[in-house]
Amino acid sequence: MYNVMIVDDEPAIREGLTTIMDWDALGFRVADTAGSGREALAKLEQAQPDLIIMDIRLPGMNGLDVIRKIQEEAAGTPHHFLILSGYADFEYARQAISIGADGYLLKPVDEDEMAEELQRIYRMLESRKAADGGHRASGDRRYSDYLEALLLKDYKDGEAVPESVPAELQWPVYQVIMLEIHFADADRMGKMAEAKEQLTTLCHERGYGFVFAAGGHTCILLRQSLKSMDQASRLLQEIRGTLSSCAAAVYAAAGWEAASLGQLKASCDAASRLLERRFLFRGDRVLLHSDWLALGQEELESSGSSFHESEYRILSRGFADRLYYALEVANKETVAQILQDMEKACLSHGSSELSVKEGFARILTLALNKFTAEREGSSSSFETADLIAEIYGQCSLPELTERVRLRLEQLIISLSAGSKETVMKQIVDFIDAHYGENLKLELLAETFNYNSSYLGKLFRNYTGEPFNLYLDKVRIGNAKRLLAEGRKVQWVAKHVGYANADYFHAKFKKYVGCPPSAYRSSNREKEGME
């Protein structure tokens, strides 16, 4: 697939040419457009066009000047030009051909005529590629062998490479791009060889550098390091497009920028460690040094946290309980916030893919099992096992988090459809159902997405009592019922939410007027008299 840049000062023509032609079928893709000659020159390095389709009359700098400027500044990179002109500009078009343009088309452009011109230029490009192929292949293999042999050496940080470096590898900077390539069929070795050949062709045509193997991965040694997220995104898109015929998925990570080939192994190692954590990020670009910093660590260990360590860290934050409470009150915003907090926890620990998936699966299983068990089949349409299976099928942590959020949101909608209960009514019902747990106003505020002070005021206005007083009365009321049934005092204290039996004794006496043991005895005597 060859890149095309369309240059015309009329937006309608740029848009029309971009859309009317079946570029893929002709072997091209529109890499970029420009509205002037100066804009075209500014975009040249980024777009890397093999063919420039350009109006001869452009504001500020005509097409002839643009061709000459490109030939001066990019003399080592062959470009093809197709000129667009009106009848009055025929002399300009003739001059353009004399200085290197491949042809011209009269406006308005006829679709069939343009297709013929594109096919002709495509054959020229393919012919040049075939002529270069034999010489290039032997040279590229030699450089790949050199780089792979270099990885076996043990150079100290910053040490110059003592061997004679080929002139083609003497660059100001180097950067390794390590690829993780997934293949759909069983012929992995054959597909890997095909992928390496396609990448070699891409690097040769774009002047990127050379392809080599390192630690079971295919790598590209760039002659210019990636400086921005946009560059990282464009490079991965180009690599994926190049490998689309043989690879099912491609991920990539960049190593450190190196000043000499003596640092090649260090750059490879950095790329490998970052690639191990690629699950933590969206796979839409090459991962960069800034992504290391996003993990909150200066260095990453080569092996990920174990499942047990990661799971313990996440569960110790109470995510399962928080998620259960948010589902219980059908609060989609709180569910989304909890999932974001889980994602941040995984990022802060640099967790491995397996650790993240097992941790998420454990948390969701605990929360959903408790949630569905209390509904006696009302949520039978929601299968926890299906969600867990989806978790293990996600390609990145952001995608995993978003998928879980959508599924839980669907669950909430399906259970709360038609409900018109007020938030305060929900809170009171929640207390009545969970009085035996460690309830705090702060927990309810987080669960219902309120400021705790503001919620306290709303609660008092609604119930006529402060939160703690209302909770105590609910607990003592249930304690009286259980004691009247003959339950033991210590068991009742724990069941209604008082971990300390002495504290329960004091609270009970305050509200009822007698100790819990006396209340239990008096009720048993009444039963005996009856």
Do residues 317 and 290 both lie within one domain? no
Residue 145 maps to a domain: no
Q: With respect to residue 319, please indicate whether it lies within any of the assigned structural domains.
A: yes
Among 246, 262, 294, which residue terminates a domain? 294
Overall domain count for the chain:
4
Tell me whether residue 160 is in a domain.
Answer: no
Domain match, 119 and 10 both? yes
In a shared domain, residues 390 and 408:
yes
- The CATH number of the domain holding residue 431 is 1.10.10.60
pLDDT per residue rounded down to tens, the chain (530 residues): 889 999 999 999 999 999 999 998 899 999 999 999 999 999 988 888 989 999 988 888 888 889 888 877 765 566 789 988 876 677 777 788 777 788 888 888 889 899 999 998 888 888 777 655 544 555 567 778 788 887 877 666 555 565 567 878 888 889 999 999 988 765 666 678 788 888 988 888 888 889 998 877 899 999 888 988 899 999 999 999 999 888 888 999 999 888 888 888 888 988 998 888 888 888 889 999 888 776 655 444 444 444 444 444 555 458 888 888 888 877 888 899 999 998 888 877 777 788 888 889 889 988 888 887 766 544 444 678 888 888 888 888 999 999 999 999 888 877 664 444 467 888 888 898 889 988 888 888 888 778 888 888 888 888 889 999 999 999 999 999 999 888 899 999 999 999 888 899 999 999 999 999 999 888 766 655 44
CA 258 remoteness from chain centre: 27
Cα distance between residue 325 and residue 106, in whole Å: 70
Single-letter amino acid code for the residue at 342: M
Considering the domain architecture, whether residues 221 and 202 belong to the same structural domain is answered as: yes
Q: The CATH number of the domain where 237 resides is what?
A: 3.30.70.270
Domain carrying residue 288: 167-294
What is the DSSP secondary-structure string of 274-319? Answer: HHHTGGGS-SSS-B-HHHHHHTT-SS--SSPPPHHHHHHHHHTTTH
> How far is residue 65's CA from residue 40's CA, in Å, rounded to a whole number?
12
Q: What's the pLDDT at 159?
A: 57
- Tell me: do 66 and 183 sit in the same domain: no
Predicted TM-score (pTM) of this structure: 0.52
Point out the domain boundary residue: 294, 325, 344. Answer: 294
Residues 411 and 428 in one domain: no
Domain boundary among 372, 394, 416: 416
Same domain assignment for residues 412 and 429? no
Residue 57: count other Cβ atoms within 10 Å of its Cβ.
15
In a domain, 144, yes or no: no
**Pair 46, 111 in one domain:** yes
462 and 488 co-located in one domain: yes
